[in-house]
């Protein structure tokens, strides 16, 4: 029996990628899993679906509940929590994994795109924490994990070209820092996890962000989150953490070669200067796409 046996975790965006991999890792430790994501049918544009994750969780011996959840929708968020309590009677873990990326200038950010990143990256984690806290308090134990960067002064100086995205992510970090203090006495932790390098997710690949040699696999994020969840929530809370530092400090893992996306090639860390370059390329692509087509000669 593991320390996680019988606990219940809600994971948003768990139909593929990091969310799905985390769901399977937790299932192997005896955690019952609730997946909230939008893809309810197999065979879509991207691989993975909520039913597929549910099947794979159940194949590992855990119970699973899969629900369609658009994290921008208040009713969907409340339904996710209510149905979890109805099915399992408890909530122990919340991982706000669903995310949206938009690396554009303020000028290049339509209001709908701004609302998208803010609703998914900032508002949904806040509201889900709001709904989950009473149930975690009732159990005297809980972990909330957000995927957002440390509140680094150097990062703030490099927000240009990605203001909407970074504002939304740093909002989740501020939530973590404040909430970690609010609920520590209840045995509930709130921490953030961020990555040292790019991760070779489908989103990274589809958006052609960086090169494969500079990516690590999703496994490093999963292992880092698992290490955080192993900590006593009454004592380990309000931290903004980096994946490789988590593994070194909490697990004693220094050799990260197992996480290379391209075997034999050590990824380059994503400094804020490198993020600037990625955003610059994205902006050039955006404005090129938005430019009016040249008029034919003689028109």
Catalytic site positions: 165
Tokens linked to 266: 């050590």
Burial of 154 (0-12, 13-18, 19+ CB in 10 A): exposed
Question: Cα(174)–Cα(229) distance, rounded to whole angstroms?
Answer: 20
Centre a 10 Å sphere on the Cβ of residue 178 and count the other Cβ atoms it contains. 12
Contacts of residue 241, Cβ cutoff 8 Å, sequence gap at least 6? 150, 191, 192, 193, 194, 224, 228
Bridge partners, residue 92, by sequence? none
Contact status, residue 24 vs residue 57, Cβ threshold 8 Å: yes
Tokens linked to 185: 């006495």
SS (H, E, C) 215-245: EECHHHHHHHHHHHHCCCCCCCCCCEEEHHH
Contacts of residue 68, Cβ cutoff 8 Å, sequence gap at least 6? 36, 37, 38, 40, 50, 76
Residue appearing with tokens 């989740």: 172
């Amino acid at each position: 029996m593991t320390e996680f046996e019988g606990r219940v975790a809600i994971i948003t965006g768990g139909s593929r990628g990091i969310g799905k991999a985390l769901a399977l890792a937790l299932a192997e430790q005896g955690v019952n899993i609730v997946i909230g994501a939008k893809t309810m049918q197999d065979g879509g544009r991207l691989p993975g679906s909520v039913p597929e994750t549910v099947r794979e969780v159940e194949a590992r011996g855990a119970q699973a509940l899969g629900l369609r959840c658009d994290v921008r929708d208040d009713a969907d968020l409340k339904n996710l929590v209510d149905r979890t309590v109805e099915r399992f009677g408890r909530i122990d873990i919340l991982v706000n994994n669903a995310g949206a990326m938009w690396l554009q200038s303020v000028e290049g950010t339509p209001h709908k795109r701004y609302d998208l990143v803010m609703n998914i990256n900032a508002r949904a984690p806040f509201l889900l924490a709001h709904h989950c806290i009473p149930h975690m308090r009732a159990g005297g134990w809980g972990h909330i994990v957000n995927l957002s960067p440390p509140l680094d002064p150097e990062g703030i100086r490099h927000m240009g070209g990605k203001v909407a995205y970074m504002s939304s992510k740093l909002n989740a970090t501020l939530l973590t820092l404040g909430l970690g203090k609010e609920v520590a006495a209840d045995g509930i932790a709130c921490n953030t996890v961020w990555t040292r390098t790019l991760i070779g997710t489908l989103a990274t690949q589809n958006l052609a962000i960086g090169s494969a040699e500079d990516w690590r696999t999703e496994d490093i994020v999963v292992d880092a989150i698992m290490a955080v969840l192993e900590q006593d929530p009454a004592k380990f809370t309000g931290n903004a953490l980096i994946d490789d530092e988590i593994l070194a400090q909490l697990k004693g893992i220094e050799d990260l070669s197992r996480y290379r996306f391209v075997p034999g090639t050590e990824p380059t860390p994503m400094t804020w200067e490198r993020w600037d370059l990625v955003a610059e390329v994205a902006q050039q692509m955006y404005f090129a796409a938005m430019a009016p087509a040249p008029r034919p000669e003689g028109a």
